Structure 1
Amino acid sequence: MDVTTFQCPHCQAMLRMRRQQLADTRFPCPDCDQPLQVTQTTEGEFSISAISATPTRKDHSHLLRSARVFGDSLHRYGRFLITSPVLMSWLVAGTGAFLILLLILFDQSSSPQSSRNETVAKVIEASETTLKKSVNTEPSKLDQREPVPPALATPKQNGPAPQPEIPVRPEPIKPAAPVVQEEFQELIAAKPEDTPPLNARKPQLAQPLPALEIDVNVALQIPIVEFRQPTEVPLKQMMSQLEEMLGTEFQFAENVKNDERLMETPISFSLKKTTLSDLLKRVLSEVALTFSVKSNKIYIQKTEASFKPDQSVRN
């Protein structure tokens, strides 16, 4: 590897070149940053020479330099804003706030001007009203003046001169008689003949609707998809549920109604695809009871095996 040693003509620093360099190559000095150029002699040897600065025009050199510095600073700040979106958002928000403040200041400055215009308009309207009033009063004053006789003409005539006309004074206007206002008569409205009573009448109560009579035989044939009673409930509660489903009241025998142990018997079962008649039979079979339909009423009594002749059925 060929290493060539040179010396900087500006700062006298020692420079070393590796490999063969091309002629007319320019580079800055690493110590003083002055521009240098590699030159080749006719004998084929390389050397370093200083580059003379190109003469610059002195016209507007300061303005060009300041404009270049300003452009570079704008470019640098623009790149910084583009890379920082937070700063860009703050800049936009500050600009908007400044514009809003300017609008508020202009609005406040225009409000006194509008109030001043309103006062000027009111003064002009007041002056116009006063002028109209003065114009309306002047003709009335002119009418009150006495008429002036016209000038007498003296035409040349052969005959006797005409006698001047005597002006006729108008008769004075008599003041109009004052209008006597009639006494104020108080008008009293006539009382109507059909006056409503002072005490309001009580509304008549609506008559209760007659209870609909349900056909028990038809109600017993109502189909039921599924009936489940997983928890045990007393017979009395189960019978009240069946009464609501059938829409009628059961007529219990005396020996069934007065037997509290029988009415508190727990019942729990489930049925599928049945009717209210089969459901009632199932409930009554749990406690050895049966039912019968008479005169569109359901009678509950004990079965024949447990029925005693001295017991009666409640109608």
Structure 2
Amino acid sequence: MIKKKFVTILKWGALLGAGLSLIKLLSFCGEKVSYNFGPVSDLLMVVLCVLLIYMGIREIRDRYQDGVIRFTRAFAIGTGIVAVAYLVVSLYMMLHFNVIQPDGVDQINTKNIEKKKSSILADTLTDAELTQYIQDIRKSTADRIIQVCETDSAQNANLAGANKIINLFETRIQGLKKEKKTDFPSVFQLDTFDVWSVKMLRFCSIEFIPDSTVDSMAIAAVRYVADSAYPEPAADKRLHEAMPQIPQFTSKNGAAFITSFPVLLYGILLNIFVALYLYRKEKRVCPAEETPEEPDTEMNQENTAGDEEQNPA
């Protein structure tokens, strides 16, 4: 009996796994022809899970349990079916990542990075990041001046001019941040801050050009530096810091088991409702059809005798 139940679980689990694998393959083929098969495939997976879990539990209940099954037993049977399906889908995903789509794992890794980057770009710059950004500008500008200028006097003149420009730049930015200007609602959003800050730095360089010849030469060098040496964008820096937290697959087989895990998770969730629907405490008995009452023989005989007396031949 136990062996037959186990074979039934294997049968329905294998059918469920094969069906889900086929849906995944069709979804992949849909991507190749630029057809959004995602919503349809999700719906088909849910329907297939519910249907085959239902069929498996009902077969064991009616064939081996005499029509009676507890919720815990029904849930255990459904979980077994889902577990077998998960293993089958995992085997298919191994085949998929190794044969059908060899670069599939790399695409998943890239998609995870892009998703994280999109969430970062939608965020705003923090005070600490703004301070670090300005410090990076000072450092990159100073390094560039030291590299370009040959004499100490030229270096000092350029450094003095650069610091004044960066101070003006910092004052403008801090002023906007404190006043929260409505004219610049997205200035401090990471996807626009880097471009805006470069424009502002150039504007400060042009605005600060003095009249004296020596200072003009210094500012010219600073403008050259401002055009060629910018720090790492704040968004890229935050993304670099967040890289250890982004899911990255290094093994195709490991990726197959992990990407198939939703089958196990959602299958068990659907199994709860199917088990609740199918469980029975006692066997259902159809009410027997009522049989007509047999006529009383003695009464019939008396009635017959009375009729004969009233109607003599």
> TM-score over 0.5 for the alignment?
no
TM-score by length of 2: 0.19
TM superposition score normalised by structure 1: 0.19
Flag the structure with larger Rg.
1
